[in-house]
Amino acid sequence: MIRIVFFQVLCLLTSAAWAQSLPNVSLKDIEGNAIQTADLVHEEGPTVLCFWATWCSPCKRELNNYAELYDDWVDETGVKVVAVSIDDMRSINRVAPYVNSVGWEYDILLDPNRDFARALNVNNVPHTFVVDTEGNVVWSHNNYADGDEYELYEELLKLSE
Each residue's pLDDT tens digit in the chain (161 positions)? Answer: 555 434 443 443 434 445 689 999 999 999 999 999 999 998 899 999 999 999 999 999 999 999 999 999 999 999 999 999 999 999 999 999 999 999 999 999 999 999 999 999 999 999 999 999 999 999 999 999 999 999 999 999 999 87
| Residue ranges of domains in the chain | 21-160
User: Rounded to the nearest 5°, which phi and psi values hold at 51?
Assistant: -85, 130
Exposure string (b/e) for 28-61, b if CB count within 10 Å is 16 or more? eebeeeebebeebbbeebbbbbbbbbbebeebbe
Give this prediction's pTM: 0.86
How far is the C-alpha of 78 from the C-alpha of 132, rounded, in Å? 11
Residue 29: the pLDDT is 96
Give me the pLDDT at residue 16, please: 41
pLDDT of 20: 86
Q: Which fold has domain 21-160?
A: Glutaredoxin (3.40.30)
Q: Which of 107, 106, 109 is nearest to 67 (CA)?
A: 106
Q: Cβ of 157: how many Cβ atoms within 10 Å?
A: 14
